Amino acid sequence: MKPLAGIVFALLLFSGILPGTTPLLSPRAVKTLVISGEFGFTGQAGDLYEPSATVTFSPALSILVARGLAVGAVLDISATGIRDYGGSTTLAFGPQVLYFFSPLQRPEKIPGGIYPFLGGGVRFYSDSATNGFHYAATGYQIPLSAGLVVMVSRNTGLFIRAFYSLEHLKNEDTGEGFQGNRYGLTAGFGLFRYR
């Protein structure tokens, strides 16, 4: 838990140090670097999963390439408790695209701006058992998300995201393929490093 507390502290510390007063959707915001970390709790179901609960940490790095459009990469690190089976650890990495819409209020406020967004991507996925028996599977997932960014300072935004992810895994031992889905909510902070 100490490393996670350190990450949160660093995000809050740097939110007051990094320069920038540009609204998120300003043409001057192009090339803005977005560094974020989100925590989430997820429910799982389908052919792939027994009823279970997952805690996820998702650091991401993106850059605004056009007004409202950010591209980048995300890493998902998840620990899952599965009823009657113990637990597993998963890693997923891949590109993401985010589109930020105009703020919900006019004129754009800094801080206080609320920006809706949509996101999507493709991630390469690895799952391994942590409960004493060997299990390993790899595959891909297609996550789709929608949420809000609430600007709490000039450089710090609170990300609140709902997501749905389609997944396909292949057992490395048997070659058997499975499909499933995940859905849930995540929340975390993002730093906006303006050029």
pLDDT of residue 108: 65
Q: Is 146 exposed, middle or buried (0-12, 13-18, 19+ CB in 10 A)?
A: middle
- Reported as a single tens digit per residue, the pLDDT across 28-57 is 677 788 888 888 877 766 676 667 777 888
Average pLDDT of the segment spanning 14-40 = 64
Strands 136-151 and 114-121: antiparallel
Reply yes or no on whether the pLDDT at 24 is more than 50. Answer: yes
pLDDT of residue 109: 65
pLDDT of residue 1: 44
Average pLDDT of the segment spanning 62-69 = 88
Q: How much of the chain exceeds pLDDT 90, in percent?
A: 27
- Cβ–Cβ under 8 Å, residues 100 and 24: yes
Reply yes or no on whether the pLDDT at 22 is more than 50. Answer: yes
The model's pTM is: 0.75
Q: Who contacts 152 (Cβ-Cβ below 8 Å, separation ≥6)? A: 15, 111, 158
pLDDT of residue 139: 92
pLDDT of residue 78: 85
Q: Could you tell me the end-to-end alpha-carbon distance of the chain, in angstroms, rounded to an integer?
A: 33
Confidence of residue 26 (pLDDT cuts 50, 70, 90): low
Confidence of residue 95 (pLDDT cuts 50, 70, 90): very high
- Specify the CATH class of 2-193 in words: mainly beta
| All structural domains of the chain with their residue ranges | 2-193
Strands 52-66 and 69-82: antiparallel
- Reported as a single tens digit per residue, the pLDDT across 117-169 is 999 999 998 988 766 667 788 999 999 999 999 988 878 889 999 999 999 98
Q: How much of the chain exceeds pLDDT 70, in percent?
A: 75
